[in-house]
Amino acid sequence: MGEFVIENRIWNPEMETMPVEDIKKLQLKKLKETVAHAANVPFYRNEFAKRKITPESIKSLDDLARLPFTTKEEMRSGYPFGLFAVPPSQLIRIHASSGTTGKPTIVGYTKKDLALWAELCSRFLVAGGLTPNQITQVAFGYGLFTGGFGLHYGIENVGAAVVPASSGNTKRQITLMHDLNVETLICTPSYALNIAEVIEEMGLKGKLALKYAHFGGEQWTEDMRIAVESALNIHAFNNYGLSEIIGPGVAGECAARNGMHIQEDCFIFECINPDTLEPVPEGEEGELVITALGKEACPVIRYRTRDLARLYRMKCPCGRTGMLMSRVKGRTDDMLIIRGVNIFPSQVEEALLRIDGVAPHYLIELYRPNNLDEAVLKVEMTPQSFSDKMEAMIKLKERITREVSTVTGIHFKIELVAPNSLERSLGKAKHVNDMRNLKVE
């Protein structure tokens, strides 16, 4: 990792360093306003009527627990404009999810919403080293996905230059980085690993100006951070956001990297037990629930993210006072149940990244022959470890079996595959192929 120093800069000191008690007062004021505005949405209006909720009935932040949860199902059932609080004539941007598991979720933005979005992205970008004199390359897709556009306007808001490369054509991406002296890269961590491999193939390792990277769009582990930083000689920062709330900009790391600072002037976070829906103690893992404050087009109250993480407060050397969140461990709907054991793909990644001789590329394949789960883990070898020496291969498979079993409690059938043989991703990496419910003719 480079020896360069990240200067501690704060984009909006008034909001980012506000005393906690003042933050709570501001949140209560904005919560009342949000309840009043959300009443323009039929779903919320009906739920408020059932619960006898009015803005005047919100006396403290504890009253948040009286408000209804919002889920992705509500958003899909309201397709396309059912959860909007403004008419289409007031919108100036519409984004949507992929809709791969049903109807997409549609989110909209007014002019004020877009200004807020740019502001929030500017905050975490500056916290992670962005300055006005840098050139930043965005390798997220530009389209219905919120990542590319949100970060693009955040970068311009800071005053830095943007290379809107979008995703794909990795060699062109690298050529642009090299020729334009790009210092900051924005993409998924999986794609960053892909970029690192191609940089080496092109003979450009150590010849780029890259210093920083901001990764999002998928869960990634601390071991993945170490691997990417080593491969690209950069400082990599984690950030958090989701389309249903606003997109990227909800939380992000500072130079201390001891958690992601939540923008509490714009969001109220809760952490609940996903089974009981009761709050968990501070610092314990649970499902994140988010209320967005001040959004015009799509007010969102108590959205169940399905993301599992921890919330905590601590004094950060950067001076920011917002609550911190850990990196996301996984999603409740991404959890795999194999022979009665609950695991997340990130646990497999965690184990593999600690083993010499394997690349951070893997695929879990699940089958159910004779009604019994069978788990296969395909692991890509590094060029250095790839050989026809049977003894070395056996030892490597034994090491993988031992490490993965220790972390997950599952005994996988390990298949070692050649370097660069697993499919590379331009965005979110696919790590699971679950074929247990497929009918075999």
pLDDT at 428: 76
Q: In what helix (H) or strand (E) does residue 403 lie, and over which residues does it extend?
A: helix 390-408
Among 108-117, 138-147, 267-276, whose mean pLDDT is lowest? Answer: 138-147
Question: d(Cα 309, Cα 324) in Å, to the nearest integer?
Answer: 10
Residue 139 has pLDDT above 80, yes or no: yes
Q: Average of pLDDT values for 132-145?
A: 93
Q: Per residue in 249-293, pLDDT tens?
A: 999 999 999 999 999 999 999 999 999 999 999 999 999 999 999
pLDDT at 70: 97
Percent of the chain at pLDDT > 70 equals 96
pLDDT at 2: 52
Q: Average of pLDDT values for 189-206?
A: 93
Question: d(Cα 29, Cα 297) in Å, to the nearest integer?
Answer: 19
Cα 6 to its chain centre, rounded Å, is 23
Say which residue, 294 or 5, is predicted with more confidence: 294
Do residues 232 and 196 touch, judged by C-beta distance below 8 A?
A: yes
- pTM, whole model, 2 decimals? 0.84
Q: Per residue in 384-394, pLDDT tens?
A: 888 767 888 88
Q: Per residue in 44-64, pLDDT tens?
A: 999 999 999 999 999 999 999
Residue 401 has pLDDT above 90, yes or no: yes
**DSSP result, 144-198:** SSHHHHHHHHHHHHHT-EEE---S--HHHHHHHHHHTT--EEEE-HHHHHHHHHH
Residue 294 has pLDDT above 60, yes or no: yes
Question: d(Cα 154, Cα 130) in Å, to the nearest integer?
Answer: 10
Among 17-31, 163-177, 326-340, whose mean pLDDT is lowest? Answer: 326-340
pLDDT at 441: 42
Q: Using alpha carbons, list the distances in angstroms from residue 65 to 60, 62, 320.
A: 10, 6, 27
Which residue ranges form the domains of the chain, and what is each CATH number?
Answer: 1-333 (3.40.50.12780), 336-434 (3.30.300.30)
Q: Average of pLDDT values for 198-202?
A: 95
Q: Average of pLDDT values for 74-81?
A: 91
Residue 184 has pLDDT above 70, yes or no: yes
CA-only gyration radius of the chain, Å = 23
**Mean pLDDT over each residue of the chain, to the nearest integer:** 92
Residue 339 has pLDDT above 60, yes or no: yes
pLDDT at 332: 84
170-179 and 189-201 are packed helices; what angle lies between their axes, rounded to 10 degrees?
Answer: 80
Confidence of residue 3 (pLDDT cuts 50, 70, 90): low
Question: d(Cα 367, Cα 436) in Å, to the nearest integer?
Answer: 5
Residue 440 has pLDDT above 50, yes or no: no
Residue 438 has pLDDT above 70, yes or no: no
Q: Which residues have CB under 8 Å from 355's CB, separation 6+?
A: 396, 399, 400, 403
Q: Which residues have CB under 8 Å from 71's CB, separation 6+?
A: 303, 304
